[in-house]
Amino acid sequence: MTASAQQHAAPAQLPVPAWATEPTLLDTVVVSGRVGGPGLWQAYKDDGHDLWIMGTLSPLPSGIEWDASEVRDLVARSQAVIWAPIYSVNVHANLFQQAMLGIKYLGAKKNPDGRTLGEVLPPELYARWLQAKARYLPHNARVERKRPIVAAQALLEAAMQQAHLSDKPIVYPALEDTIKAHAVRSVLPRVEVEVSNATAKAALAELRSRQLSDAACLAATLDAVETDLPRMITNANAWANGEISRFQFEALGRSSAACSDALVDPEFSAKYGLPNIEDSAAARWMSEATAALASNMSTVAFVPMEHLVGPDNYLDQLRARGYTVNGP
């Protein structure tokens, strides 16, 4: 997160999703073919130093080919490329200790005491899970012994695949040769947290024994699969066609937030000395971006689109620091 085994009634018929009965502007067909992708934002002051920012997205339509010619030209004329920030936890341990921690991590992906999903989930939620599993994971019996958060990820990946969406990277592979040919410096903003072997062992032991908010993660993921999949398709099509105004992440964020909190809720992370992931990653990216603006004539940055639209986004934070930001 202990729950005893329960008898569950047959899965109840789920209500028809709102998007299927009400008129909406959401897409149901995934685009394919050669696409231009979104335009770039430009951030600058008055010194001739420019930061060009492109929003990335996952998942994207699986049948598209991105026409990256304009972005390649821009990268070729730039001194650096800044990628999305990453967060990593480094464990101070010898090879044997690292191997043992890996085994413990794999154990943490299963339900405590070998329970099945039917034994740890409330009956109504388990009924919803069974119906979704029958549609998207009909031949995956092993998932029944996984923690709800792990089962949720497997379900979401299967649903996206059936919707012709893919999380395969598309931006870097299209730019890799250009970056190498022009010796453009790649900057990977990284937040690294150092923990001892003893701390990592204790955290994994607690993770294996507690429920956290696993059930909330699965419930939110079921909501996303049952009602929000057309929003994923619309966002994916919007990226492919460069329609910035059509992006909307609020509904999809419920699943992401619930599943993130299941592993890194504030109390759990603070207990083991882990800083807030989102805040620290954003701060690190902003530090690299402003440093690049000060030293480079041209820099290209790639940031998940959800960090460029909506409240308190990276663009607004740049504006608050005195930069002018022009839209695509």
pLDDT digits (tens, 9 = 90+) for 103-137: 344 444 666 667 889 998 999 999 999 999 999 99
**Mind listing the pLDDT tens digit for each residue in 307-320?**
998 888 999 999 99
CA-derived radius of gyration, the chain: 22
pLDDT-based confidence at residue 184 (cuts at 50, 70, 90): very high
pLDDT-based confidence at residue 102 (cuts at 50, 70, 90): very low
Q: Identify which has the larger pLDDT, 12 or 158.
A: 158
CB 74 within 8 Å of CB 108: no
Q: What average pLDDT does the structure give for the chain?
A: 80
Percent of the chain whose predicted confidence (pLDDT) is above 70: 72
Q: Which distant-in-sequence residues (6+ apart) come within 8 Å of 55 by Cβ?
A: 38, 239, 244, 247, 302, 303, 304, 305, 307, 308, 309
CA distance 288 to 300: 12
Here the tokens at position 67 are: 């026409």
What type of residue sits at position 48? G
CA distance 41 to 56: 12
DSSP H or E run through 162: helix 148-162
For the entire predicted model, the pTM comes to 0.77
CA distance 68 to 269: 39
pLDDT at position 96 over 60: no
pLDDT-based confidence at residue 251 (cuts at 50, 70, 90): low
Q: Identify which has the larger pLDDT, 258 or 64.
A: 64
Q: Which distant-in-sequence residues (6+ apart) come within 8 Å of 68 by Cβ?
A: 37, 171, 174, 175
CA distance 282 to 261: 17
CA distance 22 to 295: 52
Helix (H, G, I), strand (E, B) or coil at 272: coil
Across residues 67-89, what is the average pLDDT?
A: 92
Q: Identify which has the larger pLDDT, 85 or 179.
A: 179
Q: Which distant-in-sequence residues (6+ apart) come within 8 Å of 63 by Cβ?
A: 30, 31, 32, 33, 164
Across residues 79-104, what is the average pLDDT?
A: 62
Q: What is the pLDDT of residue 110?
A: 67
Q: What is the pLDDT of residue 6?
A: 31
Q: How many CB atoms lie within 10 A of CB 71?
A: 22
Q: Identify which has the larger pLDDT, 6 or 46.
A: 46
- Find the range with the poorest average confidence among 64-73, 105-114, 268-277, 295-304: 105-114
Range from 45-49, 55-59, 221-225 that averages highest in pLDDT:
55-59
